[in-house]
Structure 1
Amino acid sequence: MTAKTTMTVRTAGVANARPRLRLFPWLAAGMLLAVLVLAPALGFFSLMGRDALSRAFSLTPFQLNAIRETGLLLAGVIVLAGSMGLVAAWLVAIYDFPGRRLLDVALVLPLAFPTYLAAFVAVDLFDFFGPVQTLWRWIIGAKTLNDYRFFETRSLPGAIGVLALVLFPYVYVSCRLVFAHSGRNVIDAARLLGARGFGLFFRIGVPLARPALTAGLVLVVLEAINDIGATEHLGVSSLSVVIRDLWLNRGDLPAAARMAGLLILVVALVMLANRQPASRRPGTARSTARPRKIKLDGPAAWFATFFTAMPVVLGFVVPTGFLIWRAIAYAGRQAQAAEFLGAAASTLLLAFSVSLIVMIAGALLTIAIRIAPKLAPAGRIATLGYAIPGTVLVLSIFPVLSASDHALAAVGSALALSGTLAGIVYALSVRFVGIGVGQAGLALRRLPPSIDWVARVHGMKDLRLALQVHFPAMLPGLMLGGTLVFIDTVKELPATLLMRPLNFETLATRAYAEASAGTFEHAALDSLAILALSGFAALMLSRGK
C-alpha cells in the first residue's frame, strides 16, 4: 500500500513537471511577442522627460486650441456619422423600398476611400477654381468671391463632413447586424403590439442598437483621432497634427510626447466607454424565420431611397468619378510611369510584408494562448497597438529603434533599423498585430477544447497538434485578418510618411505630397490605384465570406 502511494506521488510529480517543460516554448514565444508590442510604451515614457507630470498641465494657447478643435471634431463626427449609419441601417434592415438591395451593399463602399483622399478630392471639388464653384458662379453670374458666399471646405465643419461621409459605414455595419438578426424578434414583437414609424425607431430601435452603435462609434473615433492627412489638409489643428508639428517642425520631443499622452488618454476613455458589463450585453438570439420587411410606398419610399443613397453618392460615387475624370484630363501631366510603378511596387511590398508578419505573429500567439491559457493577457496587450494613433506609435517607436541601432553597433554590426523599410514594417506590425490575433482567436474558439484532449489521448504532441489541428481551424480567420491588414496598410499614411527611408515612396505618400503642393490632379492615378488595391482586396474578402 505504501509503495503504491509512493508510485502515485512520483507519477503525479512527473506529470506536473512535463507540462511545465512542454509549455515553456509557447510561454517564451508569447512573452516575446508581448515584449515587442510593449517596447514602444517604454520608448514613449522615455521621451516625456523627468518633469512630465509637473508640465502636463502647462499647455500653451496653441496646444489648448488643438485640444478644443479635436474635441469639436470628434463631437461633430460622432453626431453626423452616428446619425447616418444608424438611420441607414434601420431603413435597409426593416423597410423595403426602391434600390434597397443595391444600397445594402453600396453603403459599405465609402470605407474603401482613405480619409486623406476624401479630403483632397473635397478641396479640389469645392475650391474656388473647382467645378462646383465654377458652375455656381456661372449660374448666378458672379465673378469674384465678393459677389457671393460659399461653404468653406477648409474648415472644421468641412472636416467633420468629410470624415463622417467616409467613416459612417462602421456604424452602419454594426447596427444593421443587430436590426436584421439578433434584435429582429424584439422588433417584430413591438410591431405586433402596434409600434409604428418614429415610435418604433426611437422606442425600440435606438435602445436595441445602443451597444452596436457604441462599438461602431468607437471605431469611428479611433479612425478620426488617427487621421493626419485629412485634418491637416482641411486646416484643422487636431492633436495628431500638433504632435507632428511639435516633433518635426519645432524639434520639441518632450512636448510632443506630452500631447501624445493626452491623445492616449482620449483613446483610453473611448475604449472604456465601449466596455459593458456582461449582464448588460445584448443577447445573441437570432430570428429563425425569414423576416418580412415593411413595404414603403409613395413619398416615404423615395425619401428612404434618397436618404440611403446620398451618403454613397457623396462618399464614393462622386469622389471616384472625379478621380477618373482628373486622371483622364491630366493624363499627359501624370508622373512618369517608372515613378508610379515604383510607388505601386513599394506599396505592395510593404502591404504583403506587414500582412505576412501579422498572420505569423497572430498564429503563434493564438496557438500559444490555446496551449498555455496563462498567456491570455498577452493577447489583450497585442490588441492595444490598433487603438493607438499612428503618429503616437511612431513617436514611441523611435527610441526603440535607436536603442536597437546602438545595440547592433555595440556588437560590431553595420545593420540599422532607423530610417529603413524594416522600421516601417515593425511599426505597422505592432499597430496591426491585434487584428491578426483577434481574427485567429475568433476562428480557433470555434474548435471545441475536447478536440485537443482527444488528440493528446492519441499521442499527438504540441507541435503536431498546432500544425495539423489548430492551424487549419484558424486559417480562415488568419486570411481574413491578413486581408484587413493589407487594406489598412495600402491606405496607411502617418507611419509611412514619418518613417519612410530616403527615396522610398508609396502611393499614399505620393498623393499626399502632390496635394500638399497644390497639384493633387497629378496624383489622380496614384489615388485610383489605392482605391483599386483596397477595393480588390475587399472584393476578395467578400467572396471569401
Structure 2
Amino acid sequence: MVDSTHSSFARKPNWNWLKIAAIFIAAILSIPILVVLVNVLIGDGEVWRHLYHTVLADYVQNSLLLMLGVGFGAFAIGVPCAWFTSMCEFRGRKFLSWALLLPMAVPAYIIAYTYTGVFDFAGPVQTFIRDVTGWSYGEYWFFEVRSLGGAIVMLTLVLYPYVYLMSRAAFLEQSANTLEVSRTLGYSSQKAFFKLALPLARPAIVTGLSLVLMETLADYGTVQYFSVNTFTTGILRTFYGFGDIAAASQLAGVLLLFVAVLILLERYSRHRIRYHSSGLRKATNRRIELKGSRGILTTVFCWLPVLFGFILPVGVLIYWALFKAELPGWDFVQLAWNSFYLAALAALIAVSLSLLLCYAIRLNNDRSVRASVGIAGLGYALPGTIIAIGTIVPLAWLDHRLIDLIKYYTGENVGLIFSGTLFALLFAYTVRFMAVSLGAVQNGLGKIKPSMDMAGRSLGLSPAKVLKRIHMPLLKGSVLTALLIVFVDVLKELPATLVLRPFNFNTLAVRAFELASDERLIDAAPPSLMIVLVGLVPVILLSRSISSRIEHSN
C-alpha cells in the first residue's frame, strides 16, 4: 500500500490547479512589461521624435557613462576587498569581512543628500576652507558633488557590496590545492590572484557586476537630485511634463533594451565558462599573512569603503537628526506607519505568491510551470519607473471601464478603484520584488528532500497538509528572510512610489526625497535615518549567515 502511494504521488500529483494558478499569476505579473512594449509600437511618434532630436543622445551618453563608472568602481573595490578578507590574514579582517556589507543598508539617494550637505558650497567642509584661507567662490577648486562624477561615486559606495559578496563566495569555494599548485609553478601571491583566482571567480564577478549595473540603471533619486539626465529621469519627465504615456513607454523600451543586454551578457558568461570546486581543502585554511606595511595598506584599503559608504553618512544623519532637525511630530509617525504597513502588506503578498509558485514547481515540475516562475521573477531586473508606467496604464483603463459600467447601471460615479489607490502600489511592488522572495523560498524548498513529501503522503496527508505540517516549519527561516528583504526593499523604493502613490499619501522615502529636493537636507535626516536603520536588519542577518557558513565549512 505504501509503495503504491509513493508511485502514484510520483507519477500524478493531482494538483493541476496549481499549474493553472502559476501560469495565471505569471501572466498577471507580466502585464507591466507587455504594456510598455505595446505602447512602444502604437505611439504616434511626435513626442518621441522631439526627444530623439533633443535629449535622447544625452540620456544614452549619461546612462552609459554612469554604468561604466559605477561598474569600474564596484569592481575596483569589491574584488580586492573580497580577496583580502577571504584569502589573507591582517588586522581587523574578521570585522571587515562583514562590515564591508554595511553600505547595502544605505539607499543611494540618501547618501547623495548626506554628502551634498557636507561637501556642497554651503557645507561645513568648503565653509571651513574659505574661513581658513580667505578664498572666495571661484578662487579654489573643489570636487563638484552634484555632477555625473558625484553620482558615480555615490552609487559605487552603496553598490560595490554586490560584487564583494559574489566574489568573496567564489574565492571561499576555491581549494587550497589550486593555490599550492600555483606556488609550485613559481607564482607569487599577486600572480596567483591574476592568473588563477580571478579567472576562476569570473562568473561570480560578472553576476555581481550585472546586479550593480541593473541597480544603476534603475536609480532615480540620486541622478534626479544631481540633475544628471538619464533614462529614469527622462521617463518621469516625459510622463509628467508631456503627459504622453506612449513616449514615456518608448523611452522605457530603450531602457528595457539595456537591461535585456545586461541579462543576456550575464547568462552568456555563465553558460560559456564553468568552473567546479575540487571539493578539497578550502583556501581559507591557509591564508596569506600580511604584515608590516602590506598589512597596514590592506587594512586601510578595506576600511575606506566602510568609512565613506556607511560610517560617515550615517554619522552625519545621526548628528542632523539629534541636534539640528526639528523633533519629529505626528506627521513623522504617520509617515512611518504608512511606510511600514505598506511594506508589510507587499511582503506578505509577494511571499504568499512565491510559496504558491514554488510549490507548483515542486508538484508539477514541467516546462510551463518553470517558465511561469521565471516570468514572475523578471520584475526585479526592471527599474521602478518602467513598472510604474506599465502598472498605471492598464489599471487606469480598467478603472474607466468600471466607472462607465457602474454609472450606466446605477448613475453613480464611484471614482478610481485601482489606479491612484494603494492597490496600484502593492501590485507594482509585487512585480518589482517577486524575484527576491522567489529566490529565498526556492532555496528553502530545495533543501527539503522529496522523500519527506512522499512520507507525508504515505501517511494520508494531502499536499496542502504536507505544506502546512512538514514544509512550513522547515521553511520558517527562508520565509522570514524573504519577508524581511522584500519589506526593506519596498521601504526604500522611490520611483514607483512617486508615480503610483495616492494623493496626500506619503512614505519615508518620498518625504526624504521631497525635503532634499527643497534643499531642506537637515529636515530630511529623520526619515532617511529611519530607512537606513531598518535596512541594517537584513544586512546584519546576511553577514551572520555568511559567517556561520564559513565557520561550518572550516
Task: Give your verdict on TM over 0.5.
Answer: yes
| Partner residue, 2:200 | 208
Question: What aligned pairs does 1:31-180 form with structure 2 within 5 A after superposition?
Answer: 31-50=23-42, 59-139=52-132, 141-180=133-172
For 2:455 and 2:198, locate their aligned partners in 1 and report how far apart those are by CA, in whole Å: 46
Aligned to 1:321: 315
Which deviations, in whole Å up to 9, do the C-alpha atoms of 1:116-144 show, x marking residues without a partner? 001111211110111221222234x1332
Is residue 74–residue 156 contact of structure 2 (8 Å, CA) maintained in 1?
Answer: yes
Q: Secondary structure at the match of 2:312?
A: helix
1:440, 1:475 within 8 Å by CA — same for their partners in 2? no
Per the TM alignment, residue 410 of structure 1 is displaced from its structure 2 partner at its CA by 5.5
- Which AA in structure 1 matches 2:285? P
Q: Measured at CA, do residues 53 and 188 of structure 1 come closer, stay the same or move farther in structure 2, by a change above 3 Å? A: farther
Report the AA paired with residue 75 of structure 1: L
Counterpart code for 1:145:
Y
Instruction: Provide, for residues 223-244 of structure 1, a one-character-per-residue CA deviation record: whole Å limited to 9, x for no partner.
Output: 1111000011112111111111
After superposition, residues 303-318 of structure 1 pair within 5 angstroms as 303-318=297-312
TM-aligned CA distance change 1:392 to 1:311, over 3 Å: same
* Structure 1 CA distance for aligned equivalents of residues 271 and 55 of structure 2: 42
The CA distance in 1 between the partners of 2:164 and 2:177, in whole Å, is 20
Q: Report 1:150-299 matches (<5 A).
A: 150-275=142-267, 276=269, 278=271, 280-288=273-281, 291-299=285-293
From 329, 341, 352, give the equivalent of 2:333: 341
1:494 corresponds to which residue? 495
* Residue equivalent to 2:552: none
Structure 2: distance between partners of 1:116 and 1:149: 25
Q: Which residue of 2 aligns with 1:503?
A: 504
Alignment partners' CA distance in 2, 1:519 and 1:277: 46
Deviation at 1:525, TM superposition (A): 1.1
CA drift at 1:444: 1.0
Q: What CA distance in whole angstroms lies between the structure 2 residues aligned with 1:326 and 1:169?
A: 26
Partners of 1:80 and 1:274 in 2: CA distance: 18
Structure 2: gaps spanning 5 or more residues: 408-413, 549-554
Query: AA paired with 2:168?
Result: R
Partner of 1:4: none
Kept after mapping to 2: 8 A contact 1:43/1:398: no
Identity of aligned residues (%): 33
Secondary structure at the aligned position of 2:232 is classed as: helix
Match of 2:524, SS state, is: helix
SS at match of 1:520: coil
- The alpha-carbon distance between structure 1 residues 535 and 167, as it changes in their structure 2 partners (threshold 3 A), is same
1:24 is displaced (CA, Å) by 2.8
Summarize the Cα distance change of 1:527–1:279 in structure 2 as closer, same or farther, 3 Å threshold. closer
Matches within 5 A, 1:349-388: 349-374=341-366, 375-388=369-382
- Bigger mean CA deviation after superposition, 352-361 or 197-206: 197-206
Residue 198 of structure 1: how far off its partner (Å): 2.4
Q: Which amino acid aligns with 2:30?
A: L
Residues 170 and 177 of structure 1, relative CA distance in 2, 3 Å threshold: same
- After superposition, what is the alpha-carbon deviation per residue over 1:463-490, rounded to whole angstroms, capped at 9, x for unaligned? 2223223333433222222111111111
Partner of 1:405: 399
Deviations 1:428-480 (A, max 9, x none): 01111111122111211222333333433443322222322333343322222
CA 316–235 in structure 1, closer or farther in 2 if over 3 Å, else same: same
CA shift, 1:99, in A, is 1.4
Q: Number of residues paired by the alignment?
A: 527
The structure-2 alpha-carbon separation of the partners of 1:500 and 1:406, relative to structure 1 and needing over 3 Å to count, comes to same
Which consecutive residues of structure 1, in runs of 5 or more, have no partner in the other structure?
1-10
Q: Is the 8 A contact 2:509 2:531 kept in 1?
A: yes
Deviation at 1:248, TM superposition (A): 0.7
> Any conservation in 2 of the 1:363–1:471 contact (CA below 8 Å)?
no
TM-score of the superposition, structure 1-length normalised?
A: 0.91
Amino acid at match of 2:372: A
Q: How does 1:524-539 map to 2 (within 5 A)?
A: 524-539=525-540
* 2:40/2:246 contact within 8 Å kept: yes
Distance 1:429 1:70, change over 3 A: same
How far residue 252 of structure 1 moved from its aligned partner, in angstroms, is: 2.4
How far is 1:107 from its partner?
Answer: 0.4
* Cα separation, 1, equivalents of 2:388 and 2:209: 25
Residue 446 (structure 2) aligns with: 445
Give the Cα–Cα distance (whole angstroms) in 1 for the partners of residues 332 and 279 of structure 2.
Answer: 49
- CA 1:542–1:345: 2 relative to 1, 3 Å: farther
2: distance between equivalents of 1:296 and 1:349?
49
Partner SS, residue 145 of structure 1: coil
- 1:253 shift after superposition: 1.9
Specify the code of the residue in structure 2 equivalent to 1:482. Answer: L
Contact 2:42–2:246, Cα closer than 8 Å, also in 1 = no
Equivalent position SS for 2:406: coil
- Higher-RCO chain (CA-CA 8 Å, sequence separation at least 6): 2
More displaced 10-residue stretch of structure 1: 395-404 or 112-121: 395-404
Preserved CA contact (<8 Å) 1:486 1:537 = no
Displacement of 1:56 in angstroms is 7.7
Distance, in Å, in 1 between the alignment partners of 2:544 and 2:256 is: 36
Cα gap change, 1:105/1:246 in structure 2, threshold over 3 Å: closer, same or farther? same
Amino acid at match of 1:426: F
The whole-number CA distance in structure 2 between the counterparts of 1:157 and 1:229 is 15
TM-score, scaled to structure 2: 0.90
C-alpha change, 1:409 and 1:97, in structure 2 (3 Å) is same
CA RMSD for the aligned pairs?
A: 2.4
Higher deviation after alignment, 245-254 or 211-220: 245-254
Alpha-carbon distance in 2 for matches of 1:46, 1:181 = 45
Amino acid at match of 2:323: A
